[in-house]
Structures are given as structure tokens and as C-alpha cells.
Structure 1
Amino acid sequence: MSAPPTSLDMAYALLQEGRPVDAEQLMVRELQAVERRHGRGSPEWASAQCDLGNLLFGCGLPDRAVECFRGACAGPLPEDPEAQKEHLTYRLNLGAALMMTGRLEEADAELRRNLQERLAFYGRSHPGYAFGLEPLADVLLKRGAVQEAREAIEEVIANFWRNGHERVATALALRAEIVTAEGGTDPLFPGLDQLPDELVEQVAMTVLNRTDATTAGAAGQMVLTGLVTALEARLGPDHQATLNALSLSANLGRHLGDGAGRIAAIRSVLASYDRQGRAEEALMATLGLAMAQSDAGDLAGTLETYAQARTRADAIGRPELSSQVLRNWGLALSEADRPAEAEKCLREALAAAELGHDYEMLGRARIALGLFLQHRERLAEAQQVVEAGLATLDVAHPDAIVGRSHLKAIMDGRSCGCGDIEGTIAEAFREFVMGRLPQDLLERLDVTVKDGEFAIGVELRREPTEDEIAHLNRVIESANVEFRRRLAHTE
């Protein structure tokens, strides 16, 4: 029989379900139970602190993860070898979390301390030493010490390569960034022909995970371009790793304003999916192509691509896919000032969604049609459709935010203006938080949005316990992060 899932297993399952607040609360209770059983500062307590820190890190809360990791490694280096290894991991995690919060000087100091401890414990030739040197190279790069970062990462790669350690994949990904920052002509991804496929895939995955399409800039695009070239040569143009790199390159092209490069990357992905007979993936790529053409101002090309997408969706025969295509096509037709055709598409999108079982797609189809009707000054009909759409969408869904804002404008008798987006976001945030707190604790929760930041005002209904105050603060902070992530594409 397999072992029952641990609290950490269950917490990560909750996190995968999109429930980070619940996941955190589970691990907080586990930490409290461990403290009662073994005492604060015990090895078991330190391990539980590290588990909570790792979860918070995964939830996008590195500042709070820092405090967990700091607590886990607060004591002196233990004498027991196994306990020493755990301590080294805790301090490595602390340095990584500090780096993610932008506290680079502190991260540098913690990682150098960790590296010295690892040198004493493992020796310089052991991969355990390279584990500590790799994140230090990352911090050095972020601090602008590019030459020192290059020396460090080359030592890491040599160590992992000599020891036959699979971690060489992540080091090669970091090296590509460092070489790009140097501005030289050295190859970005040398030696891929000597690695097994799974490690080449890991190199690609690491690059993609490290590349934020909204902030990577031209240097990130250079790394991605080099990666695509290397993957096409090593794994082939139809390998999923190659296609993933092309897709991210297209996303980055959007933020960099490189319309031609974005369209070319999407066309390469689409051609591959067609070669492989992957119809649904090809359909999604076709929708991406239409959006890229629209952003590039190619109206005729956009509408032609949507027509092709409709044919693809009909061939697949899934109503939710047909609804998505028709919704996007209808919105494009509305932008092109072709209202009769737009309304026909949007109504067909709603009809298709009603045939399926995807309630999110149904809500999105309703919101799209409702907003179209509002802008055509058919307010009574628009209100009915938008309200129905809101009933099937999560309060924090981007379309729900836009729909609520438009609904306020409709109820004010306005066909445009679309209401107060920031006020709508604040109200949705309030509703989201209130639903996750004890009902008898708060008298009022005021939420406002100013300069992109949430301001929270709390009025308590009764005197809270110390644990309830801690719980309230954790829920609000965690919900803040979750809400921001889910609203990233509201506009």
C-alpha cells in the first residue's frame, strides 16, 4: 500500500487547484502541530518551517518565505551530518528567496556564507558545492557583476559535468543569460549534442521558466532565439520543447512590439501542429495568429484567419471551442465596425457555449454579447445578458471584472464609459476576501485601489484572538497576491 499523503502533499494539491490561501492555512496548522509536539527550534520544527517557506515561495510570497527560511536556519550549524545537510538547504533557500525579493546584497551575503559551509561539508569538487555556487552566479548577474558571474557558472557547469549530475541543465540555462549579458560571440548553448534528450528538454524548460515575457526585454529574446535554433538542431522543429520556446518567443515579441517576429513564430508553431495532426493545438495557434495580426493592424488577415479558425473548430466538433472562436471573431468584427456580422457571431458563440459544459466559456460568451449590446445602446437586453454571465464566472475572473464595471454603467443608463474599473476591482477583491474569512469576525472590510495598489481598511465585529488576527493578515496578504495574478490580463 502506498503511504498516505502528507500535509505538504495536500497543500500542493490545493495550490494546483488554484487555492493558495487554503494551501497556506493547511501548512500553518501543520507547523503549529509540529511545534506543540517537538518544540520551537527543533529539527522537526525547522523542517516544517522550510516546507511552509517553500509553499509560500510557490504562492508568489517570497517576502514571507524569507522569514520561514530564516527561522529554519536560525540556530548554529548542527553537528549531526544529516541535520547539517538540511541546514545547508534551508540557508540556500533563504538566499534564493532574498534574491526573488530583490534584496540582492542580503542574498549575496547569505549565499556566500552557505557556500563556505558547503565547502567545509562537501569539498569543492562535490556537486553539493556547485548547488550553492549556482544561485550565487545568478545573484552576481543580477547585481551586474557579469565577469564574476561567468567565472562562477563555468565552474558550476564543469563540476556538474564532471560528476555526471543532471543539474547541469539548469546551469546551462543560466550560462546563456550570462553570456548574452557579456555581449560576446560565445555560443549560448554548447554541448547539447552530448546530453540525453531529457536533459536538453530540462535546459529548455529552465530557460522558459526564467523568462518573463513582460519584462525579459531584448536580452531575453536573444536567449530565446538562440534556444530555438539549438533545439531545432538537436531535437527537431516538431519537438514540444521547440514549440514551447517558439510560443514564448511570440509572447515576448508582443511585449517588445515585434509584430513580424511574433507572427513568424506563431506560423512556425501552427505549421508544426498541422504536420503532426494536432488539431486542437493548431486551432489555439490559429487564434493566436489572429490576435497577432490584429495587433499588427492587419484587419483583412485577422478576419480571414478567424474564418479559418471557424472551419477548424467545426471539424473538431467541441462546442466550447466553437464558442471561443466565434466570440473572438465577433469581437474582431465589432472592432471592424461590422455590427450585424459581429452580433451574429456573438450570438452563435453563446448558442455554442450553451451546448457544452464549460461554464467559464458560457460566462465569457454572455459577457461579450452583453457588452456588444450595451455599446449598441440596447441597455435592457445588455443588462440581462451581463447579469447572466456574471452568475457563471468566478468573481476574480478578468471578464467578470469588466462585466461588473459595464453593468454599473448600464444601470446608470450609459452605453459607454463602462463604469469605474478600479472601483469594480476593489469590490470584487472585497467579496473574494470576505468569502474566505470567519463570518462573525468582520463588521466591515473597505478596499480601495490607488496607483495600482490595494488599500485595506478593517473594522472588527468583536475582539479577535491572536491566532485570528494572524489568520486575517495571512488571508488578506495571500488573497492580494492571488487576486493580482488572476487579474493580470483584465485590461
Structure 2
Amino acid sequence: MTDAAKIAVQTYGAQSGRACRAHFEASQFFHAAGKPGEMLMSLRAAARVVPQNEEEQAARFGYLFQLGAALDRQGQLGEAERVLRDLVSDLGDTYGELSQAAATGNTALAGVLFEQGEIEEALALVDGAVQTLASLGDTGVAPALALRAFVVKAYSPVEPSFPEEMSLPDELVQTLGEAALERVGQSAPPLALLALSDIEELVRETLGENHALRRALLAQTVRTAAEAGDDEAQLRTLRILADLAEKAGDALGQADIQLALAEAHAAQGRTQEAVGAFESAAKFAEEGPRVLALGLARHAQYRAAIGDDAESRELMERSVEAARDAKEPELLGSCLVTQGVLLQHAGDEAASGKLDAALDLLPLGHPDADIATEHLEALEEERPCGCFGDTGLLQAVASALSQRLPAGLLRSVAQDQDGFRVDLAREPSPEEHQLVERVLNEVLQELTQATPDSA
């Protein structure tokens, strides 16, 4: 691709239509190959075309639009804004400010401004784009409305996401919902939740309550609620998904949702609810050994994290058995890795055998194979593995905290990839909150100094 662009430059000139077309084609290759730096360089070269006819003029606009979008994706928002402002100005001069092309450019520019916190200008631009595209009957109104939903919530959380008079055919509602899913990460999670709620309602009313797009929006709502720290919204949405799976008679879908519910409860320190959801997931998953194996493994990891070693071992035995029934070597290998890691954390000599068996099943480069190798190396060197889930350390932390905190304040201590999580039995006073943080830091420092290899 690079040689083709060089030949075109040498033959026709660096700013010729053919050379810039070659640069653009190279940019698409680099994008597919995961080389963003080379992609941007090629797009910049393509955008330098000096058009000699209407076709090359239209191509130049396309190159600039693609360059602005690529800069946006790479987080280079300042340059993206400059490129898109120049593009919108040229489109307005060429086709008219109320043209489809100018409205599409304004939508892209509004998205970049929104990401930079320029909410008022972004709203004005996207409002104008929606009006223009709607009046022209252009399908681009759907992604413009998706962006508008997020911008409106950033401007005023109580405002409805969509104009009251808006009416869209089913296919445009589908496009709107899909575009919204791509925009979620550009908005603050609490505001994104508000927009997702309105979009999900529109999709439900238009496409039906069990439509795949609605389920995708609900699943995204679960993730966004977790990011926003909105436990109530997360659990409420998971229950909606569970109800949909039940109505559809989808046992495996219900198993997946129960697993998500279990992990949501676990993240919030609700041990009893988490265990109940894990057990429900196992019952639903009995119709499919793959889901059963994964569900039991996740339950076993949770049991180990809360210090229930015996139950964790039993669950992992069942997980490995289900993985054998599934007759999927990689699945069995992954479950054996989980079993080996948990045994290693518990100080059981059987860990190395499980990890060795897993490596025989997993292909080179598989993430779980890397985990197995790292843990085997730790065993050979007689050192701690250093990952989370060390039940001995967890029990030591829990014991020390219970001795130093006021009676009745501590409910439980759990451990995950983010560190230790303390669950309190009641709402602490500001002084108690500071005390918990101070005592936890002191305990961890003392334990680290006592066992420096596990730091």
C-alpha cells in the first residue's frame, strides 16, 4: 500500500486526485491493521488533494470527514475540531448551509465539541442538523438524534432526549439505537444513564420489548450504571433482563443474567444475595454444560474471595466436570487454570498439576495460558503469585480489621482485582469512615512489611 502511494505521487504529483486516492486507500488498510499513526498520516496526505473537478472535490470532502472522525477516535479533539470546522465551512460554501452534506458535517463537529465540554454550541449545531436532515428525509437524522440525546442530558438532565413531534420509522429507530451505543463512552456515566433510559424506552415502544436492540441497550445500561455507581439502576435493569429471558424461555440467557446479578451483588458487598444469584445461575445453566462450567467457576472465585475455601473447591470440581461434558478443550483448559490458581492461593500442592494440564489444552498465546505460566513460575521459585485472591492474606486483613474497628461496624471483607473492599454493617459517621480508611491502610502496611515478597 505504501509503495502504491509513492508510485502515484511520483507519477501524478503529491496533490493529485490519484495520489490522494492511493493515500486514502492506504489509510483504510492501516485502520484495519490497527496502525492509527500510519492511518492518520495517510489521511492527512489524502486531504491535501487539490481538486480538478467535482468528483475530486467530493472526494476531498470525504477525506476531510474521515480525517476528522479518525482524530476524534484517537482523542486528538483539538485538531479534529479544526478539521471539521474547515470542512463545514467549505461544505456550506459549496452546497449551501442547509444541505445534507453541511448538516452531516455539523453533526460530526457537534460530537467533537460535546466531548470537549462545549455543550451549548454542540446542542445548537446538532439541533440545526436534526431539523435539516429531517426536512430532507435523510436517514442521517437517526445518528444525529442519538448524539442529540446525550448532548441534551448534558445541557439539562430533566429535558426529554427527543423532540416531542418526532416520529421515526422502525429502521431509523434501529439506526438511532445502534448509534447511541457507540456514543455512550463519550458521556459522563450518570448523564449517559439518563439518555440510555429515553432511548431504550423509544426502542421498546417502537420495536417491541424483546427486540435484540432493546436487550443490547439494557445490557449497556447495566455496564454504565456500574460505572456511575448507581447500584439501584444496575439491579433494576438486570431484573428486567431476567424477566425478558424468562418470558422467552431462554434458560441459558437467564443463567448469564443471574451471573451478572451475582457479581453486582458481590461488588456491593451483599454476600447472601450474591450467593443466591450464583446458585440460581447454576440451576438455569444445567441445560448447557458450557454456561454451567463458567458460572460455577465464577462462583468458586467469589467463594474464595470471601474466604469460603471448602465451598470454592467443591464448585471448581463441578466446574471442571461440566467443562469436560462440554467437550471443548479450551474451556476445560480455562477452568483448570482457575482451579489451579485457587488451589495455589490456598497453598495446595495439587495446583501445579492442574496448571500443567491446562497448558496441554490451551493454545500458545491464550490469556489463560499466560496466567498458568506465571503461576507455575511462582511455584517453581517458591514465591507468592502476586495476584488478587490470596485467601490467607484476605483472612489476615479481615481478622485485623475486626479487632481494631468498633464492635458491630464491620460486616465482611472481600478482595478483587482492584484491592480490598470493606463492607460495613451500618452507615458510618464521618469519623468512622476516616477510621476505616486509616486502619485498613495500617493493616495492609503491617502485613506487607511482615511478608515483603507479597507486596
Contact 1:259 1:295 (C-alpha < 8 Å) held by counterparts: no
Rounded to whole Å, the distance in 1 between the matches of 2:13 and 2:271 is 67
Judged with a 3 Å threshold, the aligned counterparts in structure 2 of structure 1 residues 336 and 147 are, in CA distance, closer, same or farther, namely closer
Judged with a 3 Å threshold, the aligned counterparts in structure 2 of structure 1 residues 273 and 112 are, in CA distance, closer, same or farther, namely same
Rounded to whole Å, the distance in 2 between the matches of 1:80 and 1:256 is 51
Rounded to whole Å, the distance in 2 between the matches of 1:65 and 1:364 is 36
Question: Which of 254, 260, 264 matches 2:226?
Answer: 254
Question: Is 2:340 the counterpart of 1:366?
Answer: no
Question: Runs of 5+ in structure 1 lacking a partner?
Answer: 1-26, 420-491
Contact 2:190 2:225 (C-alpha < 8 Å) held by counterparts: no
Displacement of 1:230: 3.0
Amino acid at match of 1:403: A
Question: Is 2:355 the counterpart of 1:386?
Answer: yes
Worse-superposed segment, 27-36 or 393-402: 27-36
Contact 1:63 1:98 (C-alpha < 8 Å) held by counterparts: no
Rounded to whole Å, the distance in 2 between the matches of 1:320 and 1:289 is 19
Rounded to whole Å, the distance in 1 between the matches of 2:280 and 2:219 is 20
Question: Is 2:320 the counterpart of 1:350?
Answer: yes
Rounded to whole Å, the distance in 2 between the matches of 1:33 and 1:260 is 60
Q: Which residue of 2 aligns with 1:287?
A: 259
Q: Which residue of 2 aligns with 1:167?
A: 140
Displacement of 1:36: 8.9
Instruction: Please say which structure displays the higher CA radius of gyration.
Output: 2
Question: Is 2:376 the counterpart of 1:410?
Answer: no
Question: Is 2:17 the counterpart of 1:43?
Answer: yes
Rounded to whole Å, the distance in 2 between the matches of 1:357 and 1:38 is 59
Rounded to whole Å, the distance in 1 between the matches of 2:260 and 2:157 is 34
Amino acid at match of 1:413: E
Q: Which residue of 1 aligns with 2:278?
A: 306
Q: Which residue of 2 aligns with 1:90?
A: 63
Question: Which of 271, 292, 305 matches 1:335?
Answer: 305
Question: Runs of 5+ in structure 2 lacking a partner?
Answer: 389-455
Contact 2:300 2:312 (C-alpha < 8 Å) held by counterparts: yes
Judged with a 3 Å threshold, the aligned counterparts in structure 2 of structure 1 residues 311 and 144 are, in CA distance, closer, same or farther, namely closer
Displacement of 1:175: 0.8
Deviations 1:40-70 (A, max 9, x none): 6553443343233245446665443221110
Deviations 1:176-206 (A, max 9, x none): 1221121264320236861111211211111
Judged with a 3 Å threshold, the aligned counterparts in structure 2 of structure 1 residues 259 and 393 are, in CA distance, closer, same or farther, namely farther
Question: Is 2:240 the counterpart of 1:271?
Answer: no
Displacement of 1:90: 0.3
Displacement of 1:208: 0.9
Q: Aligned ranges for residues 394-433 of structure 1 at < 5 Å? A: 397-414=366-383, 417-418=386-387
Question: Which of 186, 191, 203 matches 2:176?
Answer: 203
Deviations 1:231-269 (A, max 9, x none): 333333322222211111111122222222211111111
Judged with a 3 Å threshold, the aligned counterparts in structure 2 of structure 1 residues 62 and 163 are, in CA distance, closer, same or farther, namely farther
Displacement of 1:140: 2.1
Rounded to whole Å, the distance in 2 between the matches of 1:48 and 1:358 is 45
Displacement of 1:325: 1.6
Judged with a 3 Å threshold, the aligned counterparts in structure 2 of structure 1 residues 338 and 99 are, in CA distance, closer, same or farther, namely closer
Q: Aligned ranges for residues 7-18 of structure 1 at < 5 Å? A: none
Q: Aligned ranges for residues 175-194 of structure 1 at < 5 Å? A: 175-183=148-156, 185-190=158-163, 194=167
Displacement of 1:151: 1.6
Contact 1:50 1:90 (C-alpha < 8 Å) held by counterparts: yes
SS in structure 1 of the partner of residue 185 of structure 2 = coil
Q: How many residues were matched structurally?
A: 388
SS in structure 2 of the partner of residue 211 of structure 1 = helix
Rounded to whole Å, the distance in 2 between the matches of 1:360 and 1:43 is 50
Contact 2:157 2:191 (C-alpha < 8 Å) held by counterparts: no
TM-score normalized by the length of structure 2: 0.77
Amino acid at match of 1:118: L
Amino acid at match of 1:172: L
Judged with a 3 Å threshold, the aligned counterparts in structure 2 of structure 1 residues 255 and 61 are, in CA distance, closer, same or farther, namely farther
Rounded to whole Å, the distance in 1 between the matches of 2:13 and 2:326 is 54
Question: Which of 189, 197, 210 matches 1:238?
Answer: 210
Q: Which residue of 1 aligns with 2:106?
A: 133
Displacement of 1:34: 7.0
Rounded to whole Å, the distance in 1 between the matches of 2:384 and 2:364 is 23
Rounded to whole Å, the distance in 2 between the matches of 1:332 and 1:301 is 12
SS in structure 2 of the partner of residue 324 of structure 1 = helix
Contact 1:189 1:230 (C-alpha < 8 Å) held by counterparts: no
Q: Which residue of 1 aligns with 2:447?
A: none
Judged with a 3 Å threshold, the aligned counterparts in structure 2 of structure 1 residues 286 and 418 are, in CA distance, closer, same or farther, namely closer
Rounded to whole Å, the distance in 2 between the matches of 1:191 and 1:129 is 25
Contact 1:364 1:389 (C-alpha < 8 Å) held by counterparts: yes
Displacement of 1:88: 0.7
SS in structure 2 of the partner of residue 124 of structure 1 = coil
Amino acid at match of 1:75: V
Deviations 1:267-317 (A, max 9, x none): 111111111223332221121111111112122222222222122111x2x
Displacement of 1:121: 3.0
% of aligned pairs identical?
26
TM-score normalized by the length of structure 1: 0.72
Rounded to whole Å, the distance in 2 between the matches of 1:256 and 1:268 is 19
